């Protein structure tokens, strides 16, 4: 694809200077407070609702959404938006039912919840496991996919791009969660503006192809030219049914994937754990609103590229050397058509998404390592200053590991698919443990330990012995089996009747403000309308 021009680099440089300078200003303004571990890791009480919401989305959206979801939009259409729109609904569920439990019990890390509710053994085992997954799977994959995307657009080498992204993320992360949270507001602004610029271009191209009329006319032409790309629920005859198996996306195991990611994931929940309950809930509600618009930025361009390709455009750009159409090229191809300046803005949006995700993940790694491993097992007497220093070193070391490991992902035939599949193996166990831990007093530590140990072997067994069971369906069956296993083990323990580790659950905890309730109902209404219209 074409390379960036001088104006593009100028736009990108302005973006970089603004984010770095704002982050440094936030850090200097609250420098004294950052000696506190709770402030460094959680920005306790410092993040506003809009900073929490923006940070959630900035950390969530990365290269795989811009490139991967646009590619899925090219191939299967609007149905892939279920991952975004069902996440919007999940955020409301997490805000109402999960956040009160975390905040009222002063839970700052996910292993801390497991220790309070079950046992130190369960907590430590999961802390080590999460740490390994976050460093060697999540952080590494974000850096790898991000460096590939940035390298493709900019023309710089993969290694140079990987180092640039890592150092940029470190600059932000070393200032702590407060700097991450407030710089993410800028990152989301750039992400949305740059993403909308690509969508605007794509829809105008479609309109020009079919007689003009502008962006809204282009959207209408998409539905006329590719009606099969505007169905949210697939039946078994659809070639992509294996990826999105019908009603599973609404009432099945997509809930397992979403609850694991949005409700039981240090990387995500950390942004809200340091806030008051109403602030945290409003932040999650804001993130839910932002989630509603994400498909406009990451899916619609892919559908537009499909229609344009079907009508004769991008015939050479969308195929590989073997002559096969590669859907993941849809977004880079459209980005290449943007004029000088706008391409720089879209490039900045892609970089913002990657850097924000790297920063958020690195901060979560530092939090779990410092609070759940270092302070508990290596230096029980570590003061606030020591914890902050160790956290910063954990950030630097984890990023260096990611830089060294990232190139190895090229050796995997389907690197990203492997990562998704691996995450799907652990999600059922995590969600089963957290849900029963929260809402069933009799769930015991032995039951949680059994679920943690069995989740991966059970998933692998079903995958091997019953390969026809679809990915999301497999997650659902494993989840149900683990819930049954935990129930049997817990009920067999007579001490579970009076479980001293049970969480305090009060119905009043789940009551929300009137403003939150109105906002939540509005989002649910929009989601219902979207699924009815595009069923």
DSSP string, 102-143: HHHTT--SHHHHHHHHT-HHHHHHHHHHHHHHIIIIIIHHHH
For the domain made up of 6-20+40-193+249-300+322-410, give the CATH fold: Sodium/glucose cotransporter (1.20.1730)
Give the model's confidence band at 31: pLDDT under 50 very low, under 70 low, under 90 confident, else very high.
low
Asked if residue 488 lies in contact with residue 481, where contact means CB atoms within 8 angstroms, the answer is no
Is pLDDT above 60 for 417?
A: no
Confidence at residue 300, expressed as pLDDT on a 0 to 100 scale: 92
Confidence at residue 35, expressed as pLDDT on a 0 to 100 scale: 53
For residue 355, what is the enclosing H or E element?
A: helix 342-367
Give the model's confidence band at 45: pLDDT under 50 very low, under 70 low, under 90 confident, else very high.
low
What residue ranges do the domains of the chain occupy? 6-20+40-193+249-300+322-410, 412-504
Spatial CB neighbours of 223, under 8 Å, sequence gap ≥ 6? 230
Helix, strand, coil shares, percent, the chain, to 5: 80, 0, 20
Write the pLDDT tens digit of every residue in 213-272.
788 888 888 988 889 999 999 888 888 888 788 888 888 888 998 999 899 988 788 878
Identify the DSSP state of 233. S
Mean pLDDT score, 303-317: 85
**What's the CA gap between 13 and 22, in Å, rounded?**
14
DSSP string, 178-189: HHHHHHHHHHHH
Q: CA of 270: how far to CAs of 103, 115, 181, 273, 315, in Å? A: 11, 17, 11, 5, 45
How much of the chain, in percent, has pLDDT values that exceed 90?
Answer: 32
Asked if residue 284 lies in contact with residue 92, where contact means CB atoms within 8 angstroms, the answer is yes
For residues 491 and 424, which has the higher predicted lDDT (pLDDT)? 491
Tally of CA atoms within 13 A in the half-sphere of 324 that contains its CB:
5
Per the listing, tokens 């149900």 go with 480
Give the model's confidence band at 2: pLDDT under 50 very low, under 70 low, under 90 confident, else very high.
low
Asked if residue 117 lies in contact with residue 503, where contact means CB atoms within 8 angstroms, the answer is yes
Is pLDDT above 50 for 413?
A: no
**What's the CA gap between 499 and 495, in Å, rounded?**
6
Identify the DSSP state of 319. B
Averaged pLDDT score across all residues of the chain: 86
Is pLDDT above 90 for 360?
A: no
Write the pLDDT tens digit of every residue in 326-340.
787 788 788 878 888
Tokens of 116: 């309070």
Is pLDDT above 90 for 41?
A: no
For residues 266 and 323, which has the higher predicted lDDT (pLDDT)? 266
**What's the CA gap between 181 and 184, in Å, rounded?**
5
Confidence at residue 414, expressed as pLDDT on a 0 to 100 scale: 45
How many other CB atoms sit within 10 Å of the CB of residue 410? Answer: 10
Is pLDDT above 70 for 30?
A: no
Write the pLDDT tens digit of every residue in 371-392.
899 988 888 888 888 888 898 8
Per the listing, tokens 């180092």 go with 163
How many other CB atoms sit within 10 Å of the CB of residue 442? Answer: 17
**What's the CA gap between 325 and 494, in Å, rounded?**
61
Confidence at residue 209, expressed as pLDDT on a 0 to 100 scale: 85
DSSP string, 438-468: HH-TT--HHHHHHHHHHHHHHHHHHHHH-TT
Largest CA distance in the chain: 74
For residues 59 and 10, which has the higher predicted lDDT (pLDDT)? 10
């Amino acid at each position: 694809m074409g390379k960036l021009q001088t104006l593009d680099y100028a736009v990108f440089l302005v973006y970089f200077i603004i984010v770095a300078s704002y982050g440094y200003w936030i850090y200097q303004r609250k420098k004294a407070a950052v000696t506190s571990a709770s402030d460094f890791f959680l920005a306790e009480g410092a993040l506003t609702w809009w900073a929490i919401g923006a940070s959630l989305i900035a950390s969530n959206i990365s290269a795989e959404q811009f490139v991967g979801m646009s590619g899925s939009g090219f191939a299967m259409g609007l149905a892939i938006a279920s991952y975004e729109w069902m996440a919007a609904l999940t955020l409301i569920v997490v805000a109402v039912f999960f956040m009160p439990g975390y905040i009222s019990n002063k839970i700052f890390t996910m292993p801390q919840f497991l220790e309070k509710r079950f046992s130190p053994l369960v907590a430590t085992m999961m802390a080590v496991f999460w740490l390994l997954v976050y460093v060697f799977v999540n952080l590494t994959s974000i850096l790898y996919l991000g460096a590939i995307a940035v390298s493709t657009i900019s023309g710089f080498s993969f290694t140079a791009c990987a180092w640039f992204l890592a150092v940029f993320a470190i600059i932000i992360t070393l200032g702590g969660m407060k700097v991450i949270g407030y710089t993410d507001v800028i990152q989301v602004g750039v992400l949305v503006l740059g993403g909308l610029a690509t969508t605007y271009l794509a829809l105008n191209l479609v309109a020009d192809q079919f007689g003009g009329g502008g962006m809204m006319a282009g959207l209408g032409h998409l539905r006329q030219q590719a009606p099969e790309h505007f169905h949210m629920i697939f039946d078994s005859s659809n070639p992509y049914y294996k990826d999105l198996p019908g009603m599973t996306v609404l009432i099945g195991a997509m809930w397992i994937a979403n609850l694991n990611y949005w409700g039981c994931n240090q990387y995500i929940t950390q942004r809200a754990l340091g806030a008051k309950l109403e602030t945290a809930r409003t932040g999650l509600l804001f993130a839910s609103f932002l989630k509603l618009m994400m498909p406009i930025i990451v899916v619609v361009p892919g559908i537009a590229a499909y229609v344009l390709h079907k009508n004769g455009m991008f015939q050479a750009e969308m195929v590989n050397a073997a002559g096969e159409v590669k859907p993941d090229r849809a977004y880079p191809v459209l980005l290449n058509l943007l004029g000088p300046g706008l391409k720089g803005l879209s490039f900045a949006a892609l970089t913002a998404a990657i850097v924000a995700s790297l920063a958020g993940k690195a901060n979560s790694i530092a939090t779990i390592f410092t609070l759940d491993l270092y302070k508990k097992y290596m230096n029980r007497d570590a003061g606030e200053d020591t914890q902050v220093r160790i956290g910063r070193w954990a950030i630097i070391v984890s990023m260096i590991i990611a830089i060294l490991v990232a190139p190895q992902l090229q050796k995997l035939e389907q690197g990203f698919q492997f990562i998704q599949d691996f995450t799907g193996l652990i999600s059922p166990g995590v969600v089963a443990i957290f849900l029963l831990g929260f809402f069933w007093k009799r769930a015991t530590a032995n039951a949680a330990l059994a679920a943690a140990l069995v989740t991966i072997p059970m998933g692998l067994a079903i995958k091997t012995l019953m390969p026809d069971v679809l990915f999301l369906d497999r997650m659902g069956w494993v989840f149900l089996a683990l819930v049954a296993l935990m129930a049997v083990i817990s009920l067999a323990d007579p001490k579970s009747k009076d479980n001293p580790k049970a969480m305090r659950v009060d119905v009043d905890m789940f009551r929300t403000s009137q403003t939150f309730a109105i906002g939540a109902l509005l989002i649910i209404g929009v989601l219902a309308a979207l699924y009815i219209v595009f069923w």
